[in-house]
Structure 1
């Protein structure tokens, strides 16, 4: 098997744990990028340091270099958020429940630290939070499902496309180096470092309130990206009766 690097079970577990943490954190960067479009005071709420926050000015212009509207920019952000969240799928046999619970706990702390409540959270953002929670809880990955049914968008920004390709290539190189460095380590040999520092229990309660405030109809009418065909609730009229 010349030229191939095969992970042994110990290394795979160690790599899975760190990969789960990194992928979750990458998703949270895009969550914050989307949320800042809704909260005028987000600079006082955000938890991602400026040095690590998403900076993608190229997503604010079309392929001709013309500035996009706020709505168009938000659609681009949500597409990249969906892409990041679609990578948050880990098989149970590869990732122990402990790892999934670590990310959920960090998510609860983030909710509390940002001060988001059921009363000031936009319905669309509530759907995003529910979708992310369900992925972390091992349920359906709505982001991935939406991307699989993505309606083609003409004339994407060439600059944005090239930047995205470059970022993905850097991630692949980084993951390969990470796998090499973790050779021979078990998943429980890695130190867990929380990224967010709110109150876990308070955040959990706030998230439950947010999720419970939206109906199944509202949630399944929400899509991260424009769809070729809807796959949510079949009889919308019946739901409104």
Structure 2
């Protein structure tokens, strides 16, 4: 049994995680601890506070007691708003506090894009324009070219959590471009675990979504590879060494 630990802010699309655990169909256990969301707003100042070390440290002990072998900060915007160096420091601090390998959803997107061989991606962000632009900058710093950014401009995680498959598909279609090798949807408040096959069938290319790449990143940290067709190309393709 491999136990994966996740720190997830508030309550939005956390039900994606037991769904993903079921789709993995293997000896994988997903343990999720909720951190304090604070103010529910996609504003840079709020997002920076959400990922503060003291807030993340509160949930670590529960994951350690549950036997987690790796921990991922499951909040994309709570990572990339600190910039590349700040997000790295955030993860280093988390690993030290937890006493186990650690990462964040922001870095998971960079690693996942490399995994599926996508050197160019289109960003389909639920965030306001300024926050979406910071995510695109983060990807570029990680060596991933961004062909374009489509922002839905939603202000709160609660709004995003209420989206259904139709809204998710519409945003992904609007963001896609012919030169993008994959489409990425970066918000962990967005329900996507149930519609990954539909997204990839619609777009005809890999689709990377926040909760999907978060779980994949935890598996990567524990040196596990799991074939799960229901979770999209990321979980079925042979690994690519370099973008």
Q: TM-score, normalised by structure 2?
A: 0.27
Query: How high is the TM-score relative to the length of structure 1?
Result: 0.27
Q: Find the structure with the greater CA-based Rg.
A: 1
* Higher strand content, 1 or 2: 2
User: Relative to total residues, which structure has the larger helix share, 1 or 2?
Assistant: 1
